[in-house]
Chain A
């Protein structure tokens, strides 16, 4: 076993020198990816959380004032269309370089996806369920939290999943805003031609997207026990 590891390490070096794809190198040098990975997770989770807070507030506003849905979808649509890389540098004269700038751009990108899914989810709540709630004497607030939001949860989580997966991908660009993340391992120096490094950083981003997706799915299952109780 030890001998095998040694052989792999020695052949690993020449493998890197030839710039082939060397899985052994990734295992040996994994520590250089931990900090960027942590930054990446922070950027993604913080951006989606901020985006959700804003989108949720906007959806609550639009729930009372239906006419706001169109303008909000339009404005968040423009934010969704603007390329993140452009937004980083458009913000530069105002917020400077760094994590704040990256977070604003990434948050802005998630708003339309999240807002649309929250509004759709609330619209999809069966009128019968709402009537039953009203008949039980629920106040508007109770109706929202005990009937409408739980029933809208699948749509809301679907939005969160799309927003999270997309943000993981976009956060690789955060390096251009000076906010680090896995993209740093792709673009700094001559890293872009380093085959093993590109696969390691890109692969970690894909795995992160899948892992966060599984987390969100699990949360949805735990929060909607009644859906499991139904016969398949």
Chain B
């Protein structure tokens, strides 16, 4: 029993060693592992995730605000998340690789498609949940429709919008792990190319991807809390 426990602990220790010290690749010749390479892959991972999530926000938030303000397209805005959930991320990436080829742009496009639905749905729902009385009050004060969107509906929908971004970002970071299948070297390369990096590299990759996902989740959870307008925060002291 003790042996078993020690055995798997030493696996994790070896994985840590892989992260901090370079070593010769399984295939020989080149050096792999070490902090410099880990940071390179992490940067690529964060970069493609951030670009994809950013583009998805740029598309989904305006569309969600527009649909929500007009109260139109409810079926589309709500059901797009359900349809999106049913499409496996691996199949989506594979589809882009097979039909458009490998590379940063194509993977980014696939990740954007993955990130769109939760942000669109949450923006729409967030806007629709705004108290009608507040909007009427704004109109009564002489706000134009675009001012109603920017100064009332958007701020009040922000917590819901950030909830959607958080879901999408975590999902995108998780999916960017399989990006090396499409020629983008993220942290997932440590996991998918064990023939190069070895068992230690693979376990190190799994640890790093897990940590990155948790970090992103915590970051957006904090953003979501900060996004609550002061007025709302005062109304809900427990929230």
Q: Is the interface of A mostly helix, strand, loop or mixed?
A: helix
| Given A169-B85, A187-B90: A85 and B174 interface contact (C-beta under 8 Å) | yes
Residue of A nearest to B166 (CB): A81
Establish whether residues A195 and B210, one from each chain, have CB atoms under 8 Å apart when the complex forms.
no
**Within 8 Å CB of A202, what residues of B?**
87-88, 91-92, 94-95
Establish whether residues B174 and A199, one from each chain, have CB atoms under 8 Å apart when the complex forms.
no
Interface membership of A22, Cβ < 8 A = no
Interface membership of B7, Cβ < 8 A = yes
Residue of B nearest to A19 (CB): B98
Establish whether residues B203 and A172, one from each chain, have CB atoms under 8 Å apart when the complex forms.
no
**Within 8 Å CB of B206, what residues of A?**
85-90, 92
- Choose one: A77, A92, A201; the contact of B91 (CB below 8 Å): A201
Residue of A nearest to B5 (CB): A94
- Smallest Cβ distance from B122 to chain A, in angstroms? 15
Q: Is the interface of B mostly helix, strand, loop or mixed?
A: helix
Q: How far apart sit A93 and B213, CA to CA, in the bound complex (Å)?
A: 21
Establish whether residues B87 and A83, one from each chain, have CB atoms under 8 Å apart when the complex forms.
no
**Within 8 Å CB of A186, what residues of B?**
90-91, 94
Interface string of A83-126 (1 = CB under 8 A from B): 11111111011100000000000000000000000000000000
Establish whether residues B88 and A162, one from each chain, have CB atoms under 8 Å apart when the complex forms.
no
Which interface class (under 10, 10 to 19, 20 to 34, 35 or more) fits B? 35 or more
- Choose one: B82, B88, B170, B210; the contact of A86 (CB below 8 Å): B210
Interface membership of A210, Cβ < 8 A = yes
Interface membership of A73, Cβ < 8 A = no
**Within 8 Å CB of B213, what residues of A?**
81-83, 86
Interface membership of A173, Cβ < 8 A = yes
Q: How far apart sit A173 and B209, CA to CA, in the bound complex (Å)?
A: 15
Establish whether residues B98 and A89, one from each chain, have CB atoms under 8 Å apart when the complex forms.
no
Interface membership of A183, Cβ < 8 A = yes
Q: How far apart sit A194 and B91, CA to CA, in the bound complex (Å)?
A: 12
Number of inter-chain CB pairs below 8 Å: 120
Establish whether residues A172 and B207, one from each chain, have CB atoms under 8 Å apart when the complex forms.
no
- Choose one: A87, A183, A195, A210; the contact of B86 (CB below 8 Å): A210
Q: How far apart sit A221 and B177, CA to CA, in the bound complex (Å)?
A: 39
Establish whether residues A81 and B86, one from each chain, have CB atoms under 8 Å apart when the complex forms.
no
- Smallest Cβ distance from A37 to chain B, in angstroms? 13
**Within 8 Å CB of A173, what residues of B?**
90, 178
- Choose one: A85, A165, A193; the contact of B188 (CB below 8 Å): A85
Establish whether residues A166 and B174, one from each chain, have CB atoms under 8 Å apart when the complex forms.
no
- Choose one: B88, B90, B170, B207; the contact of A90 (CB below 8 Å): B207
Interface membership of B89, Cβ < 8 A = yes
Interface membership of B63, Cβ < 8 A = no
Establish whether residues B91 and A83, one from each chain, have CB atoms under 8 Å apart when the complex forms.
no
A-B contacts besides A86-B209, A87-B206, A192-B97, 15 pairs, CB < 8 Å:
A82-B213, A86-B210, A89-B202, A162-B85, A165-B82, A166-B85, A183-B88, A187-B181, A198-B91, A198-B95, A199-B95, A205-B87, A206-B87, A209-B86, A213-B86
| Interface residues in chain B, defined as those with a beta carbon under 8 Å from any beta carbon in chain A | 7-8, 11-12, 82, 85-92, 94-95, 97-99, 170, 173-174, 177-178, 181-182, 188, 191-192, 202-203, 205-207, 209-210, 213-214, 217
| Interface residues in chain A, defined as those with a beta carbon under 8 Å from any beta carbon in chain B | 77-78, 81-90, 92-94, 162, 165-166, 168-170, 172-173, 176, 182-183, 186-187, 192-195, 198-199, 201-202, 205-206, 209-210, 213
Q: List 14 interface pairs A-B (beta carbons < 8 Å), by A numbering.
A: A78-B214, A85-B174, A85-B191, A89-B191, A92-B206, A169-B87, A169-B90, A182-B88, A193-B98, A195-B99, A198-B98, A206-B88, A209-B86, A213-B86
